[in-house]
Amino acid sequence: MGTELKRVAILIETSTTWGAELVAGVAEYARQRGKWSMFVEPRGRHERLRLPRDWRGDGIIARVTHPLLAEDVKSSGLPAVNVSWIQLRDYAIPQVTADEIAVGKLAAQHFLDRGFRHFAYFGPDPRHGYEDRLGPTFAAAIASAGGACHVYQARRSSGSRVGWLAEIADLIPWLRSLPKPAALLTWNDIRARQVTEACRESGLSVPEDVAVLGGEYDALNSEVSIPPLSSIDHNPRRVGYEAASVLESMMEGQEPPREPVLVPLRGVIQRQSTNTLAIDDRPLAEALQFIRMNLHRPIGVGDVVEATALSRRLLEQRFQKALGRSPAAEIRRVRIERAKQLLSDTRMSVAQVALASGFNFVEAMNVVFRREVGVTPTQYRRQTSASTLKHDALSQAKSLGVRG
């Protein structure tokens, strides 16, 4: 890399957790490189960002959601990276973003693991250049498990207070019509909070009648919601870090990636809005609750049998019927999910994570983790960490078409 200062424009809203964390990821990369100067201003989610006419620099990282900004970027002639899910057809701007398809699949698995049989989806407002893939992916994953997904078609904009209240009014009859208990995925936490508000207005309980999962985590909306929202963490800090890494390679003359660079999700942030099990079988529900409450201990199937009024054979049969897996498989699954959360969100050593996840030995966790997840615990931590080394980002970009 040369010694000259690189001037980069960051055109991303800062009023959401996604935007603020993404900018922080770019800033982290810039600090490590030491030769970046960033143009970034506080902006709201619905502001139409533009490239300042008097700005002169070397590269752009932007959430390109409308043709005016896309034209600004194109006219500048500068290397640029788009971090939005939106792909405007007339503007080929390289993308680095979260994996939208993975969000839909993860949401479906989150609800299926809790025994739900009725599902619903509340998508985004219609917007230029965006084709929602989250909802169809979620519905397809549910269909593959033998279920069906009810879809709410938004008829009003939620961009103003009047629209917000009108949308809630429209939601109430639809929510009441859903078969219960319902597992409902929304496009983001703003939509999820509309659902929890509509449930309160209509006398529906969350999560007992309607379990609500936000498709994109936002700290403020999650906390303001009653109850607090479970959400999917898109790992925006790493999106920003990887976007900065790809942009730097382009500023150094390398070719842009031919396909979007997709960043792994951090997982589900589990809070009260999905903290339930849709299991009519009370002993089975007690068995599942016992596993969750004791996942830090090295429990086995025998311990689960002792905690219920069921024989081992009957317990096995009920697990297979309700969840499609054995009690031993459920224990492994919960342990692995706990290990993934600790690897992503804490600085605990891998050995400490193993003990906190119910494994007697770190070697045992390594074997099970690699078999179930496809990578080692250390590799998983590196993939979901905000501070990924530059060569990791570049190696992914090169596999998609960037040449050194």
Given a cut of 80, whether residue 161 has pLDDT beyond it is no
So what's the architecture of 282-373 in CATH? Orthogonal Bundle (1.10)
Given a cut of 50, whether residue 397 has pLDDT beyond it is no
Q: Which residues pair with 211 in a beta bridge?
A: 183
The average confidence (pLDDT) of the chain is 88
Predicted confidence band of residue 45 (pLDDT cuts 50, 70, 90): low
Given a cut of 90, whether residue 102 has pLDDT beyond it is yes
Apex 212 CA angle, 207 and 214, nearest 5: 150
Q: Would you kindly state where each structural domain of the chain is located, as residue ranges?
A: 6-97+236-265, 100-233+268-274, 282-373
pLDDT on residue 60 = 96
pLDDT on residue 382 = 84
Residue with tokens 């319902």: 182
Q: Read off the pLDDT of each residue in 348-356 and give the average, rounded to a whole number.
A: 95
Q: Read off the pLDDT of each residue in 45-53 and give the average, rounded to a whole number.
A: 77
Apex 142 CA angle, 140 and 148, nearest 5: 95
Q: Compute the 3-state secondary structure of the chain and give helix, strand, coil in percent, each to the nearest 5.
A: 50, 10, 40
Find out whether 381 and 340 touch, Cβ atoms under 8 Å. Answer: no
- What dotted CATH number matches 100-233+268-274? 3.40.50.2300
Same fold, 6-97+236-265 and 100-233+268-274: yes
Q: Read off the pLDDT of each residue in 57-67 and give the average, rounded to a whole number.
A: 93
pTM, to two decimals? 0.80
* Domain 6-97+236-265 in this protein, CATH class: alpha beta
What is the tens place of the pLDDT at every residue in 186-233? 999 999 999 999 999 999 999 999 999 999 999 999 999 999 999 999
| Token code pair at residue 328 | 């031993």
